Chain A
Amino acid sequence: MDGYSFTLAGAELTALASGALYWDAPNLLCVSDLHLGKAERRARLGEPPLPPYETRDTLGRLESDLRQTGAGTVICLGDSFDDSAAAAALPEAEKLWISKLQAGRRWVWIEGNHDPGPVDLGGTHMTELPVPPLVFRHIARSGQSGEVSGHYHPKVRLALRGRSLSRPAFLLDSNRVILPAYGTYTGGLFSHDATLTSLMRPDALAILTGPMVHATPMPRRAILRL
């Protein structure tokens, strides 16, 4: 399995090319910002519709990561649903699929800003979850250490000989790791945004996801492109 291994507060973690984070010792897989039901929510709010099936696409990738890691615990790190109504409005087939994925594992929904309340989909619902030496929460807090979070959908743009390329990325330093969004329809915040440059230490790394992982010093300046 392609991934980038690193240590956070003594925990041996692997950033997977899919955008999931795997922790071998407790056999734990963490994914963030699934935004399930986004197409449905947009249509409901009268925004320009996005094509459907993003829920299936996201769940399909999650299923494949679970198969490959055999993880016994899954932590969904918040914004798992585009809003609480989207969770309730999931088609029956997709609810069943989630139950199938949950079977035989511990499953934790961390609450996010999009999905603050509990959902009727099995698993445990928590505002944050400490698994020493780490703590899992949706939005990073400055001054913390050993923190695993999501929320910002970080991405990175690099210039490569005449073309530029942008990829969702993990951001990590000695205090924290911020996960990229795992959902199919998710925009993102570039690593050079002030919010992220002030949150991350100067020696932070970015782990680009995609067909394979690539580690690079976290870009802090904008490459002025569209």
Chain B
Amino acid sequence: MRGFHPPYGSPHCPSSLCFVARRAYLSGMIPLPACFTDWFSARDWQLHPHQHDMLARADAPATLLIAPTGGGKTLAGFLPTLVDLAEGRHSGLHTLYISPLKALAADIKRNLTAPIEEMGLAIRVEDRTGDTSSHTKRRQRADPPHILLTTPESLALLVSYEDAPRIFAGLKRVVIDEIHALAESKRGDQLMLALSRLEALCPGLRRVGLSATVEDPPALARYLAHGAHPCDILLADPGPDPDISMLEVSEPPPWSGGGAAYAIPAVLDQIKRHKTTLIFHNTRAQAEIFFHNLWLANDDALPIAVHHGSLDRAQRSRIEAAMTRGELRAIVCTGSLDLGIDWGDVDLVIQVGAPKTVKRLVQRIGRANHRYNAPSKALLVPANRFEVVECLAALQAVRDHDLDGETRGPGPRDVLCQHLLIRACTGPFDADELFNEVTGVGAYAGLPRAEFDACLTFCATGGYALRAYDQWQRLLQRDDGQWQLRDPRSARLIRMNIGTIQDSDTLKVRMKRARGGRPLGEVEEAFAATLSPGDTFLIGGQIVRFESLREMVVEVSRDAGRKPKIATFMGTKFATSTQLSERILGLLAQPDWPDLPAGIRDWLHLQRRVSEMPKAGHLLIESFAHDGREQTCIYGFAGRNAQQTLGLLITKRMEELGLAPLGFVATDYATLIWGLEAVTDAAPLFDAASLRAGFESWLMGNAVMKRTFRASATIAGLIQRNSPSTRKSGRQATMSSDILYDTLAKYDPGHLLLEITRQEAMRGLVDFGRIEEMLARVDGRISHRRLARVSPLAAPLLLEAGRTPVKGAAEERLLAEETARLMQAAGLAG
């Protein structure tokens, strides 16, 4: 089990209960029942101080425990439950454990069961996730275990049943694991709303949150607390500072790209010198490519593997099992290993590519070396030259303990809409009571009644534009003022669509065999659409050849011979955080950079000589001709998503001004636009008022905005992903949500879902908030440099992948060219 520690110097004990031996500590503490002390002393194990503290606070309404990975958090969370249940007087559900990962719930079950049996305690522990059989689920509803391990989605479903009051009767404690991760997403908002229901069913429920290191513990405590009740914060000993540096590679990194192939020999050398190395990447595609290159260079045939969220679950489990057994020397991975089970023997973490946020870097570093008092060891590998600067800034931030984090806005209303529908599934409700419940949730504390009522109206009618359609008329108000489902049968559909996770539209990949070959994983529909038979791509570290598409399954064969086309996964594209961007600008402002390698220093000095350095209070714009095109480079330092949105907005402005833009590319620090006409005066392009107006009008028709809408519309129940009769493919869902979006934009621009979409667009993929932030920071101070040729900082952008063509007349021109060519070829021209 995670967080149980072996005595110093003892061999590693994977996935079993172990405790740090702090012999002097136990005296004066809350006494443990005899069966516990006997069991511990038989193993020569004792508790961490914070584990004792948690026991002492067993009756506090809410406690947030912040402990480093491997700090014994989970035991700290469960100890009061085990002690309470050991008395054997409780019947029914006692403690709910909620984790973001199904695998974690299963793992905790395994590892709790062992000591419970060894201590001879009559405690029933069961997990309940999407993988649990329907038979077991039914039995669990009829006869709940003492400890139920589940996920936010499974909990929301449980809460929706009519018999929820009976299922949860007697519930005393809720333990939320990895709450720092949940709090960053709508899954957390859904969870906290579900807890507000439980609070109403079981007043006096105690809450425990288990968190990794975060930048603002009081904010997280407010998030966890129920209403005005207090939430104490317990900080466990964070342990020694990590041993972290940049990997020294003789060859300099390339100008652009994210592969870091140049560092393969040096990384391999590090793998050989350590027991187990985790190699983190920011995207799945980069992880695949890196693993491929690592494998080609792996002359000693070290056991290495690749692990990411697009791989088939069975394959991931095999890798996890091999890792737990200590059989692997290195795992190339993505955020899929950010959370979860402690892998015993990791003694080195390598982060490939700039870490984008300091907090995630620190949490990843924490995956190494789970001995309580030993420093974690980590190496950063910048993938290109600019990332060397970014990595240096991140290193300084880690040393300064300066964590970053986005403050989350008020509780999202799409999640609230889903909660209202879930509440209606349980039975009739009173709007005033439910409003009080909802505003007891930290994130919704400031929710105005009018907004709550708007959500209720939306759930009841679909909103003004949709009121004529039965399928969105879901609630009705009874004569006694209570709200209920208009048609009780709709509860089934609502339950089928519970959840806030937006899986991108993916297709399964299988080996082609007569009766369905081995599943390999998934690729995005958009990527699969670009494949022709014979094309090769990487998945799960092997090169496969696209054969055919059968019933929404991509069939492939093995093809080791050729150079692969690259598998692309949208995944999450992390943007460099505001705080880290500020640090980078601060670093660039230095007169010299003694900490940077000579090549990078020369590059930055040259930029200063031929143009100027981007500065915090200015917006630097360079324009120059290159490659027969007029280029404009905008150094906004607003993060990848905002720079992308800026590209969309500015090219639209340029089109209006007759500058004929052809396309653009964005990185975390700049946007490069190319077109037919030179930009001579940049200021009009950046007029804040017209950029904002552009955001309102132009972006409304944008695909990224539509994607944002689809996510919220799905959560709020306007679009159903699942239905009893058929399962729509992602593409069909896209079709109809786009039409719905256009319809609402045209007939009902004030519709709640459009309002929510606009709010969502301030962050995430559109990230207009960062553009606002940049405009405020710059406050009209634009330095526009006309250069004779490409500048040193702009040069890497010319090589950057992921170019976005400016659509519009261009598509029709291409089509006209192609059809004319075909007519000519057929002898039909004229």
Contacts and interface: CB of A to CB of B under 8 A. Distances in A.
A102 B739 CA distance: 27
B502 interface: no
Contacts of A57: 743
Given A49-B720, A53-B747, A91-B468, A160 B814 contact: yes
Main secondary structure of the interface of B (DSSP, over half): helix
A217 B812 contact: no
Kindly state the interface size class of chain B when it binds its partner.
Answer: 35 or more
A224 B532 CA distance: 6
Contact of B815 (A46, A158, A226): A158
A47 interface: yes
Interface string A210-225: 1110111100000011
B828 interface: yes
Task: From A210, A212, A214, A215, name the one whose CB has the most chain B CB atoms within 10 angstroms.
Answer: A214
A124 to B, nearest CB: 29
Contact of B728 (A48, A184, A208): A48
B169 interface: no
A217 B532 contact: no
B468 A226 contact: no
Contacts of A52: 466, 468-469, 743
Interface string A187-219: 000000000000000000100101110111100
Interface in A44-69: 46-54, 57
A51 B528 contact: no
Contacts of B468: 52, 91
A184 B735 CA distance: 11
Interface stretch (B100-108, B231-239, B793-801, B819-827): B819-827
B667 to A, nearest CB: 22
Given A47-B723, A54-B739, A214 B819 contact: yes
A165 to B, nearest CB: 7
Contact of A51 (B529, B740, B822, B825): B740
A43 B528 contact: no
Nearest to B738: A51
Task: From B529, B532, B819, name the one whose CB has the most chain A CB atoms within 10 angstroms.
Answer: B819
B726 interface: yes
A91 B811 CA distance: 38
A165 B823 contact: no
Kindly state the interface size class of chain A when it binds its partner.
Answer: 20 to 34
A100 interface: no
Contacts of B724: 46
Nearest to B472: A49
Given A184-B739, A225-B529, A46 B818 contact: no
A217 B822 contact: yes
B470 interface: yes
A50 B739 contact: yes
A15 to B, nearest CB: 13
Nearest to B466: A52
Given A53-B743, A165-B815, A212-B816, 18 more contacts: A39-B469, A43-B471, A47-B723, A48-B726, A48-B728, A49-B720, A51-B737, A51-B739, A184-B739, A208-B819, A210-B812, A217-B825, A224-B533, A224-B549, A225-B530, A226-B528, A226-B549, A226-B731
Interface of A: 39-40, 43, 46-54, 57, 91, 158, 160-161, 164-165, 184-185, 205, 208, 210-212, 214-217, 224-226
19 contacts: A43-B470, A43-B471, A46-B723, A47-B725, A48-B726, A49-B469, A49-B471, A50-B739, A51-B737, A52-B743, A53-B739, A160-B814, A160-B815, A161-B818, A212-B816, A214-B815, A216-B823, A224-B549, A225-B532
Closest 8 CB pairs of A and B: A51-B740, A216-B819, A214-B819, A226-B529, A217-B826, A49-B471, A48-B723, A53-B743
